[in-house]
Structure 1
């Protein structure tokens, strides 16, 4: 086994929970188009890129729209979403995250963000965690969304470590698959019934210590 040198974190559902803001913005868009989406349907959009999410929603509403209209709708949803996340503060950081990141630093590990969201830098700034990461990979730096491993492989690359020296923290099925496809040890944040591909699962970072993760991963 390789010695673990770096932890790579998804943003949404691991560090903050912006899923409710995504849901409100997508729901508003669906309502404007004449139909509705449920919270259960919204689960399918987690870890999926903006345009792919829009396509799933349009399919759900039985709509086929030209490329230009789809681009406009995606931009409109993003504007509504940004209105909501721009009000975020450090209070929106999920319980246990600051303590876990403190352990990461004490253990001498590198940390990277691996998010498909193009808004990740804005959120990290709003919650005051810019200094917590040695590298930030977001939707602006990648061409393929999860479950493609590109976002995590780029993270490893920027940190100058091999995939085998990395641990990924993910709450979405697509993200867990991306980490595994990238050849990394994956910690699922959520339910073991859902994140079946993960190497280990915890309800949140609050229920984990860096030592527990390293014992399992190396």
Structure 2
């Protein structure tokens, strides 16, 4: 059976305090309730996507994610082996229950984000989402799949490193070590420039498109 999945991030950009402030100014100007933990959703993309996928997909899944202890995960932290724990709230909405009219569909999406904001508020206060909690079992297949691809992709580098060590050439060993150090520094600097505070869209800037 063919399964079609489409991932849509309705806020359109990553959350920052500056973008949130601008977004809430837009909400006030449009008479919409202000959100505490989200930006206003970009409704045009959602309504157009839903209209095009009507009859193809059966449901919309809303996912709300929160990291425990107010942790803010970073790619650099993951590379350094830091462990992050998170809870996820998933809700299913049959497509047939979502209004077809563009304006009503947009209102439905705004209401959904108000509910998402309430979920975030509950999690912030209680440390958990409302409703029953399901802890998925650990799957051996996931670990085996990771080990297989890690071995397949890293084996050339490991073989080369072993060859360098076995060669006994101080110059070759020093050169390879310097290469690893420079590559590590370069990757960390590259990750640094992708931090949320340094990147993102021109949300709210003069000349940028008006939020729908």
* TM-score, normalized by the shorter chain, greater than 0.5: no
Decide which structure has the larger Cα Rg and report it: 2
TM-score computed with the length of structure 2 as normaliser? 0.23
Larger proportion of helix: 2
